[in-house]
Every structure is written in C-alpha cells, then in structure tokens.
Amino acid sequence: MPTRASSPDYDDFWAGFWYFRLPELFSTCVAFSLVADMGFARGDIGNWSMSIWCFCFAMTLIIVMVELWRLPSHFPFYWYNFPVTYACYAALVCLSTSITYSITYVQFLLYGPSRDRAIAATAFSCIASVVYALDVAWVWDWYDLSDIPCYVHTVPGLLKVLETFVAGVIFAFLSNTSLYLHQPALEWCVAVYSICFILAAVVLLLNLGEREYRLPVPFSIYQLVLSLLSVLLYISALVLWPLYQFSEELGGQPQRPSDGDCRDELTYNMCAWDQRLAVAVLTAANLLVYVADLVYWARQVSVGTED
C-alpha cells in the first residue's frame, strides 16, 4: 500500500499510462493538429481551441515525465493530488471547448475538407474529455491510494474546481474589454469575478499543499466566511451585469442585433452580444455553485464537523 512517503508501483504507472495518459495525449494532439492544418480559416475561435488542446497535451506530457522519472517525492506537497486535480480541470476545459467550438464555428462551415477536420477535432476533444473524467474517477484507486484523502474527490473540492473553472470561462469572454470598460458598474462586476476567483484559488491551493490547518482560525469557519462573501459579491454582479448590458435605459442592448458582428454567417469571432449573454448565464451558474458551497460549510459548522 503506497503512503505519502512512497510512490505507486511502477507497473501501476505503466497501466495508468496505457489506459489514461496515452489516450489523453493522442486525442489532444490529434485535435490541435487537425485545427492547425486549417490555416487562417480557423479564425479566433479555432486559435483559442487549439491553444487549449496544446496546453492539455503539454501538461499531460509533463505529468508523464515526472512520474516516469520517479520525481514525485521531490515536490514539497503530495504529488498525486496534482494530476487528479489537473485531470478534473482538463475534462471540464475539453468539454467546454468542444461545445463552444461546435456551436460558434463548426455549424457555420460549408461542407468540405475544412468542416470534416473541424468535426473530427471536436470529436477527439470530446474523447479527451471522457478520458480525463475517467482519470479523475479511477486513477486514485488504480494507484491504490484509497487510504490517502484526495481533495478533488470531496464535495468542497469539486465545488472549488467548478467555481474556479466557471470564473476562468468568464474571464475568457471578458478578454473583449469593450464589454465593460465604458461603465463603472460593469467594471465592478469584473472586480467581483477576480476577487472570488482568487479566494477560491487560495482555498484550493491550501488544500493541495496541505496547509489548511495552519490557519489561525478553524478551516470550516474560514471556508464559511469566504463562501458567504463570495455569494454576496456574486449577487451584486448578477444584478448589475444584466441590468447595464440589456437595459436600454442604462445604455444596454436588450435584443440581439442582426447586423455587425452578430449577422448569421461565419465571422470567425463570437458576437459581442452573445458574449454579454454568456457572462450573465455563467454568473448565475457560478452563484448557484457558491450557494451550494455556502450551504455545505454552514452545515459543517452547525454540526461541528469537517469533511
């Protein structure tokens, strides 16, 4: 049975490589290769998707090299928490990329080689998402680490991953600064997304680095206060963002325009109005995740236990 001071058996590493790591490497490599072969026709959405698949391929390769050379014991934290956490993010990222790429790009392509490549890339991205999800679910037991707690396998761990992931997607849409720089209320919303993301990331890093019990207050109280603060901030963003983006009285645009970058043809970019709507929907979704986090820690504090 492996412990924190030891590593899983070498045979387990190769089994995990053949069943999980190699399919992850292959599917992400094929996905970004197919899109790269499309040249300038891939547009901004294609470049963004390709960068995501390249990053997933590179990170998976780094993880394979670290485990192959038996370097996990050289890290100041328990290494095997990292690849499971990364696989959780990679599954979500590849899934969201598949959906975004197919909805905003593939459906507008004319039938031909470019469309076939784009469809194939989307399919391989979906395969990568499934394999990464299986990685999260099974690798911990595969390496026979069941006696060592894994933060991502807990309810608060999964909630923190979702909170930071959704915030990351919101930041991707906010890369278009014209959505919010003209209005201080919208700039406040961006500040809310940034503050809550940092707070959630700090909690995640404390747990992965096993530093959560070195705080001057009980960790459950710390989590409860941060969750309550995040919920209140997100409520303000949920009110202000739609109000200033879609209300004509406040300079917003209530309906999707039929001209400009929102015309119904391939422009290789996502319509600005669609970006505004996506941020509003994601804000509501992340608020629900934070509320679930708040309820969980309120219950933990009320019964005087910690997960």
**What is the predicted pLDDT for the residue at 223?**
93
Last residue of a domain, one of 90, 116, 147: 147
Q: Mark the ranges of the chain whose per-residue pLDDT is less than 70.
A: 1-12, 39-43, 142-147, 258-269, 304-307
What is d(CA 237, CA 212) in angstroms, rounded to the nearest whole number? Answer: 29
Which burial class, exposed, middle or buried, applies to 302 when counting CB atoms under 10 A from its CB (0-12, 13-18, 19+)? Answer: exposed
Last residue of a domain, one of 147, 179, 208: 147
Of 208, 209, 207, the closest CA to residue 223 belongs to 207
| Same domain? 190 vs 285 | yes
246: containing domain: 149-254+269-306
Number of domains in the chain: 2
**What is the predicted pLDDT for the residue at 263?**
60
| Same domain? 16 vs 58 | yes
**What is the predicted pLDDT for the residue at 18?**
85
| Same domain? 246 vs 220 | yes
Integer-rounded Cα Rg, in Å, for the chain is 21
Last residue of a domain, one of 147, 165, 189: 147
| Same domain? 154 vs 299 | yes
**What is the predicted pLDDT for the residue at 5?**
44
Decide if 259 is inside a domain: no
pTM above 0.85, yes or no: yes
Give CA separation, 290 vs 42, 218, 235, in Å: 36, 20, 10
| Same domain? 140 vs 159 | no
| Same domain? 114 vs 158 | no
| Same domain? 93 vs 160 | no
Decide if 108 is inside a domain: yes
Decide if 5 is inside a domain: no
- Grouping H, G, I as helix, E, B as strand and the rest as coil, residue 148 is coil
Decide if 7 is inside a domain: no
| Same domain? 170 vs 115 | no
| Same domain? 156 vs 292 | yes
